[in-house]
Structure 1
Amino acid sequence: MSIPSPIHGAVALTHWGVIRARGDDAASFLHSQLTHDFTGLGLSEARLAGYCSAKGRLLASFVAWKASHDDILLACHASVLPAALKRLSMFVLRAKCKLSDASAEVPLFGQVSSSEPIDVWGKTDAEGGAIVRLPDAAGAARLLVAAPQEPQADSLSLDTWRWLEVQSGVPVIEAATVEQFVPQMLNFELVGGVSFQKGCYPGQEIVARAQYRGTVKRRMFLFDISGEAKAGQEVFHSADPGQPAGLIANAAPSPDGATTSALAEVKLAALEGGSLHLGAADGPLLMRRPLPYAVPIDAEQAV
Structure 2
Amino acid sequence: VSFGNPERERSIVITGSMFCDLSHRSLIAVTGEDALEFLQNQLSSDVREVSGTRTQLSSYCSPRGRMLASLRVFWRDDTFYLNLPTEILAPTLERLRMFVLRARVSLEDHSLELVRCGYAGPDAGQELKQALGDCPAAVDDALQVGELTVLRIPGPRPRFEIHGPTGAVMKLWERLNVRGAPVGAAPWALLDILSGIPNIYPATADRFVPQMANLQMIGGVSFKKGCYPGQEVVARMHYLGNLKRRMYRLSAATDTIPKPGDSIVAAGKDTNEPSGTIVEAQLNPDSSGVAALAVLRIADAEQQQLRLWDAEGAKVTLDTLPYDG
TM-score of the two chains, using structure 2 as the length reference: 0.86
* Corresponding residue to 2:258 among 229, 252, 257: 229
Secondary structure, counterpart of 2:69 in structure 1: strand
Name 2:132's counterpart in structure 1. none
How far the C-alpha of 1:38 sits from its partner, in A, is 1.5
Secondary structure, counterpart of 1:221 in structure 2: strand
Listed one character per residue, the Cα deviations across residues 172-199 of structure 1 (whole Å, up to 9, x for unaligned) are 1111110010001001100110011111
Given that 1:36 and 1:49 are in contact with CA atoms closer than 8 Å, whether structure 2 keeps it comes out as yes
Given that 2:198 and 2:293 are in contact with CA atoms closer than 8 Å, whether structure 1 keeps it comes out as yes
Partner Cα distance (1:278, 1:234) in 2: 6
Name 1:121's counterpart in structure 2. 140
C-alpha change, 1:213 and 1:175, in structure 2 (3 Å) is: same
Name 2:38's counterpart in structure 1. 29
Secondary structure, counterpart of 1:80 in structure 2: helix
Instruction: Map 1:78-89; keep pairs closer than 5 Å.
Output: 78-89=86-97
Name 1:155's counterpart in structure 2. 181
Secondary structure, counterpart of 2:38 in structure 1: helix
Question: Does 2:300 match 1:270?
Answer: yes
Q: Letter of the 2:301 partner, please give it.
A: L
- What percent of counterpart residues are identical? 33
Question: Does 2:125 match 1:106?
Answer: no
Partner Cα distance (1:67, 1:40) in 2: 14
How far the C-alpha of 1:274 sits from its partner, in A, is 4.9
Secondary structure, counterpart of 1:36 in structure 2: coil
**Structure 2, gaps ≥5 residues long:** 1-9, 126-134
* Corresponding residue to 2:158 among 135, 138, 141: 141
Partner Cα distance (2:22, 2:71) in 1: 14
Name 1:298's counterpart in structure 2. none
**Structure 1, gaps ≥5 residues long:** 296-303
How far the C-alpha of 1:241 sits from its partner, in A, is 3.6
Secondary structure, counterpart of 1:184 in structure 2: helix
Listed one character per residue, the Cα deviations across residues 208-262 of structure 1 (whole Å, up to 9, x for unaligned) are 0000101110010000122221211111001214320000011111222221110
Name 1:299's counterpart in structure 2. none
* Corresponding residue to 2:196 among 166, 169, 179: 169
Listed one character per residue, the Cα deviations across residues 57-90 of structure 1 (whole Å, up to 9, x for unaligned) are 000011111113x311110011111000000001
Secondary structure, counterpart of 2:19 in structure 1: strand
Partner Cα distance (2:146, 2:87) in 1: 28
* Corresponding residue to 2:290 among 260, 271, 276: 260
* Corresponding residue to 2:277 among 247, 271, 274: 247
Listed one character per residue, the Cα deviations across residues 21-64 of structure 1 (whole Å, up to 9, x for unaligned) are 01111111000000011134222100111000000000001111
* Corresponding residue to 1:77 among 69, 75, 85: 85
Secondary structure, counterpart of 2:158 in structure 1: strand
Instruction: Map 1:187-202; keep pairs closer than 5 Å.
Output: 187-202=214-229
Partner Cα distance (1:272, 1:255) in 2: 26
TM-score of the two chains, using structure 1 as the length reference: 0.92
Higher mean C-alpha deviation, range 122-131 or range 190-199: 122-131
Listed one character per residue, the Cα deviations across residues 124-180 of structure 1 (whole Å, up to 9, x for unaligned) are 11342311100122xx11101112224333223222111111100011111111001
Given that 2:304 and 2:317 are in contact with CA atoms closer than 8 Å, whether structure 1 keeps it comes out as no
Name 1:205's counterpart in structure 2. 232
Name 2:150's counterpart in structure 1. 131
Q: Letter of the 2:42 partner, please give it.
A: Q
Secondary structure, counterpart of 1:222 in structure 2: strand
Higher mean C-alpha deviation, range 35-44 or range 260-269: 35-44
For the aligned residue pairs, the C-alpha RMSD in angstroms reads: 1.6
C-alpha change, 1:82 and 1:275, in structure 2 (3 Å) is: same
Given that 2:44 and 2:60 are in contact with CA atoms closer than 8 Å, whether structure 1 keeps it comes out as yes
Partner Cα distance (2:247, 2:63) in 1: 22
Partner Cα distance (1:58, 1:93) in 2: 22
Name 1:49's counterpart in structure 2. 58
Partner Cα distance (1:105, 1:95) in 2: 24
Partner Cα distance (2:87, 2:32) in 1: 26
Given that 1:26 and 1:97 are in contact with CA atoms closer than 8 Å, whether structure 2 keeps it comes out as yes
Q: Letter of the 1:222 partner, please give it.
A: R
